[in-house]
Structure 1
Amino acid sequence: MDSATETVSVAAEDSGARLDRLLAARIPALSRSRLKALILDGQVSIAGAQPARTILDPSIQVKFGDVITVTLPPPQDAKPAGEAIPLDIVYEDDDLIVIDKPAGLVVHPAAGHATGTLVNALIAHCGDSLSGIGGVKRPGIVHRLDKDTTGLMVVAKNDRAHGALSKQFADKLESGLERGYLALVWGAPDRTRGTIDAPLDRHPHTREKQAVRKGGREAVTHWELRETFPDADGKPVASLIECLLETGRTHQIRVHLAHIGHPILGDETYGTGFKTKAARLTPPARAALDALGRQALHAAILGFSHPRSGDRLRFEAPLPPDMARLAVALRG
Structure 2
Amino acid sequence: MSTFDETKADFEEEDDEFIENLQIKVDPGQSFMRLDKYLSHHLKNISRNRIQNAIDSESVKVNGASVKSSYKVKPLDDILLSLVKSGKIPKEVIPQDLPLNIVYEDDDVLLVNKAQEMVVHPGHGNPSGTLVNALVYHFGHLPSARDGEIRPGLVHRIDKGTSGLLVIAKNEFALQFLARQFADHTTERTYYALIWGEPKEPKGTINAHIGRGFKDRRVSDVFPDGEHGKEAITHYEVLKTMRYVSLIKCNLETGRTHQIRAHMKYLGHPLFNDAAYGGDRILRGEIFSKYKQFVENCFSLMPRQALHAKSLGFIHPTTRQWMQFDSELPADFQAVLDKWEHYLQYK
Q: What does residue 254 of structure 2 align with?
A: 247
Please report how far the alpha carbon of residue 272 of structure 1 lies from its aligned counterpart in structure 2 after TM superposition: 4.6
Which 4+ residue blocks in structure 1 deviate beyond 6 angstroms?
A: none
Q: Which amino acid aligns with 2:251?
A: L
C-alpha distance after superposition, 1:198-241 (max 9, x if no partner): 111111111111101232211110000000002xxxxxx00000
Q: Of 127, 130, 148, which residue of structure 1 is paired with 2:161?
A: 148
Q: Does 1:209 align with 2:222?
A: no
C-alpha distance after superposition, 1:167-203 (max 9, x if no partner): 000001xx3x100000000001122100001111111
C-alpha distance after superposition, 1:137-156 (max 9, x if no partner): 31111100101100000011
Q: What does residue 143 of structure 2 align with?
A: 131
Q: Which amino acid aligns with 2:263?
A: H
TM-score with structure 2 setting the length: 0.68
Distance 2:166 2:199 in 1: 29
Task: Give the RMSD, CA atoms, in angstroms.
Answer: 2.2
Q: What does residue 160 of structure 1 align with?
A: 173
Q: Does 1:111 align with 2:118?
A: no
Q: Which amino acid aligns with 1:322?
A: D
Q: What are the equivalent positions in structure 2 for 1:309-324 lying under 5 Å apart?
A: 309-324=319-334
Q: What does residue 189 of structure 1 align with?
A: 199
Please report how far the alpha carbon of residue 93 of structure 1 lies from its aligned counterpart in structure 2 after TM superposition: 0.7
Structure 2, unaligned runs of 5 or more: 1-5, 10-88, 343-347
Q: Of 291, 315, 318, which residue of structure 2 is paired with 1:308?
A: 318
Does the Cα contact within 8 Å between 2:162 and 2:309 map onto a contact in 1? yes
**Worse-matched range after superposition: 218-227 or 134-143:** 134-143
Distance 2:330 2:90 in 1: 34
Q: Which amino acid aligns with 2:256?
A: R
The alignment partner of 2:167 has SS state of: strand
The alignment partner of 1:243 has SS state of: strand
Q: What does residue 15 of structure 1 align with?
A: none
Q: What does residue 85 of structure 1 align with?
A: 98
Q: Does 1:228 align with 2:241?
A: yes
Please report how far the alpha carbon of residue 77 of structure 1 lies from its aligned counterpart in structure 2 after TM superposition: 7.3
Work out which structure has the larger RCO, using CA pairs closer than 8 Å and 6 or more positions apart in sequence: 2
Q: Which amino acid aligns with 2:145?
A: I
Distance 1:275 1:283 in 2: 11
Q: Which amino acid aligns with 1:132?
A: S
Decide whether aligned partners of structure 1 residues 79 and 242 sit closer, same or farther in structure 2, where only a CA change above 3 A counts.
Answer: same
**Worse-matched range after superposition: 316-325 or 109-118:** 109-118
Does the Cα contact within 8 Å between 1:80 and 1:136 map onto a contact in 2? no
Does the Cα contact within 8 Å between 1:108 and 1:118 map onto a contact in 2? yes
Decide whether aligned partners of structure 1 residues 311 and 108 sit closer, same or farther in structure 2, where only a CA change above 3 A counts.
Answer: same
Identity %: 42
What is the number of residues matched between the two proteins?
251
Q: What does residue 31 of structure 1 align with?
A: none
